[in-house]
A and B are shown apart, each in its own frame.
Chain A
């Protein structure tokens, strides 16, 4: 080999290296905007990125968080106080027997693809939930609908197979989203709805951008350029907020980091409410929790306020049952099981369950790990030795705990709206609560007058609590930190969606 070959080899190496660099140079990744935010733009930091935007075939709260009320709208919507409000329906009338709903729809509403929204689209959307096109299990909320018919372009008649108080509320969640008949081809990336925004881009692993529509039927939002950025790490999101890269962190998952913002005038800190309950679940079908006394002992053994203080820096509210205060049938049951370790020990002795050893499956989520340690120490006080077993979330936890119910105790944040029945009125659910006492009562309440609905549901919830089916540790707060100049933040996460249209910058 001579000097020339060596030079050629050198040239080959250089060329190969250059090729690698050239490959990288073109359009790697994509931008994420937002340093100095103009008055019609906002950058919001979130946790938990949606994998796609199609909630009809994919589960996960992150999807409706982005698209509901922003891209899609329903006939009705749920406001910040948890009350039902008209949206695409101007008004509605319910027949005497509570089974026929006549909706008067807004005129001149268009989808973002230019098509008119008519009663035919509403029929299409309702029937689509009942068809095989919907895989998401929330579709069962539409089971009660017997038929939907377009009386005219603006008149919709829905007939239920039995009266239902829950149905109209459910229509305010993503089950009731209105789709265009011609706009369901690419729901995963190109959702088409009647809302004030359209999805402009979706860069996985980084951000979603929404643009305001100038042909929106309602009041056009002030902020028309919205960027949602996703942070796997809470510290990274607060750093981005501090350095001015983003304007708001919504649903913050690290309460320990809130303190630094509370003392800073440049930021506002809001503790909104939510529909999420931290549920300490006990498997009612297996020992030792098949004994109601053992479950009640757990209820007495746990000092919930201490759990809130230790695990979530004091943010969160004791609610006593799986019903948040924004629901119509809320009742304060926090006194039913006061913190009383002595009583817990008595109940355990009565059940012959002293010196218990149990396994505690803890999903790999910040709130779960934080809660589990204090719960274990409080259980130890009354003689229950709980050993923590970490379950990868979602994959392993869903498989082992949720699907196979192969567990004794676990803890999870249950985020769905009005989920007390889904959780306890189904003996096959992973909680395994024997619902024979409540099943008939539930149907009666749902079919009754609104007053009967409230009193009936309160009765049901009290029964569930008396049986100590599981322990609701606290209502999860929706922590928001934002630039002090940002107004109109919808901090109450009472529906799945992060409502953007009210946001505005004060000068």
Chain B
């Protein structure tokens, strides 16, 4: 366990170093001077110079990078170019929003996908299984923003059951928080559900051909009971893998849903920060994303060892 942690930590640091160095250089090669963006069309050369000196963008790249890494080590993301505020509270706030949105969407996706996928597999020769499989295939093809726009049109604008968007902190008003999350979570979760349904179906189909399941059925268990008792755990490994991959993709991919529903998440902050050339904010977000993705991979690894004892020795 300790060794696994240590190697994960090493992997984290290496990835972080490469990712931040890359993003650091790319951001500065990109056209657009943060000072000009901040001060706009009326800025005088003196004002621009003063701004650059204040935020240190006139120093050498190597020095800027070292200073930034130094801050990062102390847990300090630095000061935003555009708001002049400390970045850490802003990013912590936005990360929470995105984690709630993505976490709940994935939970919804799993609650839908696991039973449906199993059903589609068990009944793969029946018309109902084929229909389920077809629906999930269509679901994979539909972009989630389209689902979001349709949901808003029907349930917010036409029926008025839910707000069309916006965000309320759970501490401020738990009921309103939940009401505003319903549509975005369905929009983000339903497409994921379709994707995962297909993985669950194919994983279960595979398992159903295995000898141990035939043995279980020979002992007198029904198809369903045999699957639940002996098959699920085995089908879990590929499903956990895809859940991990999808979670990582959703952290940023949810930006589309955040835009449709006006949710102040991490993805929106990233897009705005790139537009404003708030380079330190972009770097901080990338660092946080690297951390989250590695955390997800770590959890996926852990889940493997729970699901399949044979994988523990290999690790």
Partners in one complex: yes
B164 with A242: CB separation less than 8 A: yes
A391-405: CB near B (< 8 Å → 1, else 0) gives 010111011101100
B170-213: CB near A (< 8 Å → 1, else 0) gives 11110010000000000000000000000000000000000000
Q: How long is the Cα–Cα vector from A6 to B298 in the complex, in angstroms?
A: 16
B285-313: CB near A (< 8 Å → 1, else 0) gives 00000000001001100110110010010
B269 with A16: CB separation less than 8 A: no
Task: Determine, out of B88-96, B114-122, B133-141, B223-231, the stretch whose residues face the partner at the interface.
Answer: B88-96
A59 with B170: CB separation less than 8 A: no
Among the listed A17, A57, A204, which residue makes an inter-chain contact with B264, where contact means beta carbons less than 8 Å apart? A204
Taking A236-B165, A395-B32 as given, write out 19 further A-B residue pairs in contact, using a Cβ cutoff of 8 Å, ordered by the A residue number.
Answer: A9-B306, A12-B302, A27-B169, A28-B169, A28-B170, A29-B94, A30-B93, A30-B169, A31-B168, A51-B83, A52-B82, A137-B44, A188-B85, A204-B269, A236-B259, A239-B164, A395-B33, A395-B36, A398-B41
A31 with B157: CB separation less than 8 A: no
Q: Using known A-B contacts A29-B97, A30-B172, A188-B84, determine if residue A245 contacts B163 with beta carbons closer than 8 Å.
A: yes
B47 at the interface (CB under 8 A from A): yes
Among the listed A9, A12, A229, which residue makes an inter-chain contact with B166, where contact means beta carbons less than 8 Å apart? A229
A171-192: CB near B (< 8 Å → 1, else 0) gives 0000000000000000011000
Q: Which of A1, A32, A35: most chain B CB closer than 10 A?
A: A32
B149 at the interface (CB under 8 A from A): yes
Q: 7 tightest CB-CB pairs across the interface, nearest first?
A: A59-B40, A137-B42, A395-B32, A28-B96, A205-B264, A51-B82, A239-B164
For A13, what are the chain B residues with a Cβ–Cβ distance below 8 Å? 299, 302-303, 306
Among the listed A21, A28, A137, which residue makes an inter-chain contact with B97, where contact means beta carbons less than 8 Å apart? A28
For A403, what are the chain B residues with a Cβ–Cβ distance below 8 Å? 33, 36
B102 → chain A closest CB, angstroms:
10
A328 at the interface (CB under 8 A from B): no
Among the listed B268, B303, B312, which residue makes an inter-chain contact with A205, where contact means beta carbons less than 8 Å apart? B268
A58 with B96: CB separation less than 8 A: no
B167 at the interface (CB under 8 A from A): yes
Q: Whose C-beta in chain A lies nearest to the C-beta of B272?
A: A205
Q: Whose C-beta in chain A lies nearest to the C-beta of B32?
A: A395
B39 with A236: CB separation less than 8 A: no
Q: Using known A-B contacts A9-B302, A29-B96, A205-B269, determine if residue A395 contacts B275 with beta carbons closer than 8 Å.
A: yes
A138 at the interface (CB under 8 A from B): yes
Q: Whose C-beta in chain A lies nearest to the C-beta of B34?
A: A395
A231 at the interface (CB under 8 A from B): yes
B305 with A205: CB separation less than 8 A: no
Q: How long is the Cα–Cα vector from A239 to B166 in the complex, in angstroms?
A: 11
For A28, what are the chain B residues with a Cβ–Cβ distance below 8 Å? 93, 96-97, 99-100, 169-170
Q: How long is the Cα–Cα vector from A229 to B164 in the complex, in angstroms?
A: 13
B78 at the interface (CB under 8 A from A): no
Give residues 145-171 of B contacting A (CB, 8 Å): 149, 152-153, 156-157, 160, 163-171
A-B pairs with beta carbons under 8 Å apart, 20 shown: A13-B302, A16-B298, A23-B99, A24-B99, A25-B170, A26-B171, A28-B93, A28-B97, A49-B272, A52-B82, A52-B85, A137-B47, A188-B85, A203-B264, A204-B90, A239-B153, A245-B164, A245-B165, A394-B37, A395-B31
A134-171: CB near B (< 8 Å → 1, else 0) gives 01111010000000000000000000000000000000
A359 → chain B closest CB, angstroms:
16
A396 with B163: CB separation less than 8 A: no
Per DSSP, chain B at the interface is helix
Q: How many residues does chain A have at the interface if contact means C-beta atoms less than 8 Å apart?
A: 63
A235 at the interface (CB under 8 A from B): yes
For B269, what are the chain A residues with a Cβ–Cβ distance below 8 Å? 204-205
For A1, what are the chain B residues with a Cβ–Cβ distance below 8 Å? 309, 312
A27 with B39: CB separation less than 8 A: no
For B43, what are the chain A residues with a Cβ–Cβ distance below 8 Å? 59, 135-137
Q: How long is the Cα–Cα vector from A49 to B97 in the complex, in angstroms?
A: 19
A232 at the interface (CB under 8 A from B): yes
Q: How long is the Cα–Cα vector from A244 to B156 in the complex, in angstroms?
A: 9
Q: How long is the Cα–Cα vector from A57 to B276 in the complex, in angstroms?
A: 15
Among the listed A189, A206, A399, which residue makes an inter-chain contact with B33, where contact means beta carbons less than 8 Å apart? A399
A10 at the interface (CB under 8 A from B): yes
A243 at the interface (CB under 8 A from B): yes
For A40, what are the chain B residues with a Cβ–Cβ distance below 8 Å? none
A96 at the interface (CB under 8 A from B): no
B94 → chain A closest CB, angstroms:
7
A398 with B173: CB separation less than 8 A: no
